[in-house]
Structure 1
Amino acid sequence: PTATVRSQIGSFNSRLVGFQYDTGVMQNYGDASGFIDYNHYQTDGALTNNNERRGNVFAKFIKPLSEDTAITVVAMQNNTYQNASPGATAQQISQYGSHYGLNQNPLSDAYVGYNNDNFTSNFDYIGLQTRFGDWKIDNKVYTTSYAHNAMNGFNPNGTGQQTLQAAGYGLTMAGGGTAQGSNIAGVTGLTAYQSYGDILRATRALGNDDLNFGLWVERQLHQSWTNNVDLSTGGIGSIINTPGLSNGGNQAETSSMNTIQPYVEYVWRPTSKWSITPGLKLNDFNRTYNSAFDTTVGGAFAYSHTWAALLPSLDVHYYVTDNWSAYGQAAEGFVAPLLFGSFYNPNQPIQPNASAGLAYLAPEKTMNYQLGTVFKSSKLTASADVYYITNNNQSQQSQIGNLITIQNIGAVHYQGVEGEATYNLGSGFNAYGNYSLNSYTSAVPIQNAPQSTAALGMLYEHNKTNASLIAKEIGSRWGGQDINGNYVHFGSYTTVNFAAGYNFGSLGWAKDAKLEFQLDDMFNRTDMVAFAGNTQGGNALFWTLPGRMFSLNLSAGF
Structure 2
Amino acid sequence: MSAIHVRALRNSAACLALLAASGTLWAAPAVAQQVAANTAAVVNAESAGGIETVVVTGTAFDPESAPAKASLDTMEPQTIINRSYIEDSVAETGTYTSVLAIAPSMTGTDLNGPGLSDNGVKNTLRGLPDGSFGLSYDGIPFGDTNGPTHHSESYFPASTIGAIAVDRGPGNAGTIGPSTYGGTVSLFSEMLTSNSSARLQATAGSWGTSLFNGNYQTGDFNLAGFNSRLMINYQDTNTSGYLTYNSSMAQNYTVKFQTELAPGWTATLFGSWNGLFQQLEDNAGATAAQLTTFGKNYALQIDNPRAGTYAPYNHVHKKTDLDYLRLQGDLGNGFTIDNTAYTYAYINKTLSTLSVQQTAADIAKGITENNGTLVTLNSPFATVFPNNVPGYTKQNAYRVWGNVFRGAKDFDFGWLTGQLRAGVWWESSVSQRARSDFDATQCFALTTAQCNPFKGPQFPDARNIAGKTAAPFGGGFFEYQEHSGWNQYEPFVELELHPFENLTITPGFKYVSWDHYVRAPLEQKRVPVGPAFTSFTTTRDLPFVMANYKLQPSWSVYAQYAQGIYVPDISAFEQKTVATTFPKAQTTTNYQFGTVYYADQFTFDADIYYIGVNNNIVYQACNLAPIFGSSGETCGVNTGVATYKGIEAEGTYAFDGVLEGLSVFLNGSLNSSKTGGKWVKQAPMWTSAQGIFYKSGIWKFSLIDKVIGQQYSDATNTTFYKLGAFSNMDAKASVSYQNLEFGVGLYNLLNSRSLAAVGINDKAPIGGSRVEDIGNRSSSLDQYYYQPSRSIQFTIKARF
TM-score (norm 2): 0.65
3-state SS in 2 of match to 1:94: helix
Match of 1:551 in 2: 793
For residues 407 and 524 of structure 2, the distance between their equivalents in structure 1, rounded to whole angstroms, comes to: 49
Q: Name the residue aligned to 1:93.
A: 291
**Counterpart mapping for 1:250-329 below 5 A:** 250-294=479-523, 296-297=525-526, 298=528, 299-329=530-560
Hey, what does 1:192 align to over in structure 2?
397
The residue aligned with 2:439 is 230
2:217 paired residue number? 22
State the shift of 1:487 in Å: 6.5
Are the aligned partners of 2:518 and 2:573 in contact in 1 as well (CA < 8 Å)?
Answer: no
SS in 2 for 1:250: strand
Question: Deviations for 1:220-266, whole angstroms, at most 9, x for unmatched residues?
Answer: 00011100111111352222463344877621010110110111000
Structure 1 residues 532, 552: CA separation in 2 closer, same or farther (over 3 Å shift)? Answer: farther
Q: Aligned ranges for residues 373-522 of structure 1 at < 5 Å?
A: 373-399=595-621, 400=623, 401-426=631-656, 427=659, 428-443=661-676, 444-480=678-714, 488-504=721-737, 506=738, 511=739, 513-522=740-749
Q: Percent identity?
A: 26
Aligned 8 A contact 2:308 2:368 in 1: no
Q: In the superposition, relative to structure 1, how do residues 544 and 268 fare at CA in structure 2: closer, same or farther (>3 Å)?
A: same
**Aligned-pair distance for 1:539?**
2.3
More helix per residue: 2
Greater Cα shift, 54-63 or 170-179: 170-179
Please tell me the residue identity of whatever aligns with 1:449: A
Alpha-carbon distance in structure 2 between the residues aligned to 1:469 and 1:343: 47
Q: Secondary structure at the match of 2:290?
A: helix
User: How far apart, CA to CA, are the structure 2 residues paired with 1:552 and 1:534?
Assistant: 40
Matches of 1:18 and 1:175, distance apart in 2? 53
Distance 2:309 2:263 in 1: 60
Q: Which residue of 1 aligns with 2:326?
A: 127
Which whole-Å CA distance do the structure 1 matches of 2:466 and 2:721 have between them? 29
Amino acid of the structure 2 residue aligned with 1:138: D
The Cα RMSD (Å) is 2.5
Residue 424 (structure 2) aligns with? 215
Could you say which residue in structure 1 is the equivalent of 2:276?
Answer: 80
| Equivalent residue runs for 1:135-154 within 5 Å | 135-154=335-354
In 2, Cα distance between the equivalents of 1:195 and 1:408? 26
Higher RCO structure, 1 or 2 (CA under 8 Å, sep 6+) = 2
Q: Is the 8 A contact 1:454 1:474 kept in 2?
A: yes
Alpha-carbon distance change, 291 to 533 in structure 1, aligned in 2, over 3 angstroms: farther
SS of the residue 2:227 aligns to = coil
In 1, Cα distance between equivalents of 2:718 and 2:353: 24
Equivalent residue number for residue 761 of structure 2: 534
1:495 deviates by 2.5
Q: 1:28 to 1:307 in 2, by over 3 A?
A: closer
Change in Cα spacing, 1:175 to 1:434, as seen in structure 2 (3 Å) is farther
Q: Which moved more, 1:531-540 or 1:10-19?
A: 531-540
Change (3 A) 1:326 1:389: same
Cα distance change, pair 93–164 in 1 and its aligned pair in 2 (3 A): closer
Q: Is the 8 A contact 1:157 1:535 kept in 2?
A: no
**Over residues 112-145 of structure 1, what are the superposed CA-to-partner deviations in whole Å (9 max), with x where a residue is unaligned?**
1112111101111111110021111110111111
Which residue is equivalent to 1:181?
386
Change (3 A) 1:243 1:528: same
| Structure 2 counterpart of 1:152, one-letter code | S
- Secondary structure of the corresponding residue to residue 340 of structure 1: helix
Q: Which runs of 5+ in 1 are unaligned?
A: none
Amino acid in structure 2 at the alignment position of 1:369: Y
TM-superposed CA distance for 1:295, in Å, is 6.4
Deviations 1:270-306 (A, max 9, x none): 1121000001111211011021024641211221100
Do the aligned partners of 1:163 and 1:185 also contact (CA within 8 Å) in 2? no
Cα contact 1:155–1:535 (8 A) shared by 2: no
- The one-letter amino acid paired with 1:446 is V
Tell me the distance in 2 between the aligned counterparts of 1:438 and 1:286: 35
Which whole-Å CA distance do the structure 2 matches of 1:524 and 1:313 have between them? 46
Q: In structure 1, what is the equivalent of residue 42 of structure 2?
A: none
Does the Cα contact within 8 Å between 1:530 and 1:544 map onto a contact in 2? yes
| In structure 2, distance between residues paired with 1:67 and 1:319 | 34
Deviations 1:390-421, CA, capped at 9 Å, x for gaps? 11111222224424443221111011000011
Structure-1 separation of matches of 2:273 and 2:408: 32
2:101 maps to none
Instruction: Give 4+ residue runs of structure 1 displaced > 6 Å after superposition.
Output: 161-165, 484-487, 535-538
Preserved contact between residue 246 and residue 279 of structure 2 (Cα < 8 Å) = yes
Match of 1:103 among 301, 309, 318: 301
Return the alpha-carbon distance in structure 1 between the equivalents of residues 370 and 743 of structure 2.
51
TM-fit CA distance, 1:516: 2.5
Quote the Cα distance in structure 2 between the aligned partners of 1:371 and 1:227. 50
Amino acid aligned to 2:460 = S
For 2:425, the aligned partner's letter is W
1:11 to 202, 206, 225: 206
Q: Could you report, residue by residue, the CA deviation over 1:342-369 in whole angstroms, capped at 9, with x for unpaired residues?
A: 453xxxx31xxx44xx321111111111
Q: In structure 2, the residue corresponding to 1:65 is in which secondary structure?
A: strand
Deviates more, 1:157-166 or 1:169-178: 157-166
Matches of 2:715 and 2:428, distance apart in 1? 38
Q: In structure 2, what is the Cα distance between the partners aligned to 1:280 and 1:335? A: 17
After TM superposition, list the pairs within 5 Å mapping 1:325-404 onto structure 2.
325-342=556-573, 344=575, 349-350=576-577, 354-355=578-579, 358-399=580-621, 400=623, 401-404=631-634
Q: Is the 8 A contact 1:164 1:170 kept in 2?
A: no
Alignment length (residue pairs) = 542
- Tell me the distance in 2 between the aligned counterparts of 1:123 and 1:131: 27
8 Å contact kept, 1:341–1:406: no
Q: Which has the higher strand share?
A: 1
Q: Which runs of 5+ in 2 are unaligned?
A: 1-195, 445-452, 471-477, 624-630, 764-778
Are the structure 2 counterparts of residues 184 and 169 from structure 1 closer, same or farther at C-alpha, using a change threshold of 3 Å?
A: closer
2:314 alignment counterpart: 115
**Distance in 1 separating the partners of 2:728 and 2:540:** 43
Tell me, yes or no, if the aligned pair for 2:373 and 2:386 is still in contact at 8 Å.
no
Q: Find the aligned partners of 2:620 and 2:378 in 1 and give their Cα distance.
A: 31
CA deviation after TM superposition for structure 1 residue 464, in Å: 2.3
How many Å separate the matches in 1 of 2:267 and 2:251? Answer: 27
Q: Is the 8 A contact 2:674 2:680 kept in 1?
A: no
Assess, with a 3 A threshold, how the Cα gap between structure 1 residues 88 and 341 changes in structure 2: closer, same or farther: farther
1-structure distance, mates of 2:745, 2:494: 44
Letter in 1 for 2:269: V
Relative to structure 1, the CA distance from residue 295 to residue 35 in structure 2 (aligned partners, 3 Å threshold; closer, same or farther) is: closer
Instruction: Give the SS at the match of 2:292.
Output: helix
Contact 1:397 1:406 in 2 (8 A): yes
Paired position in structure 2 for 1:155: 355
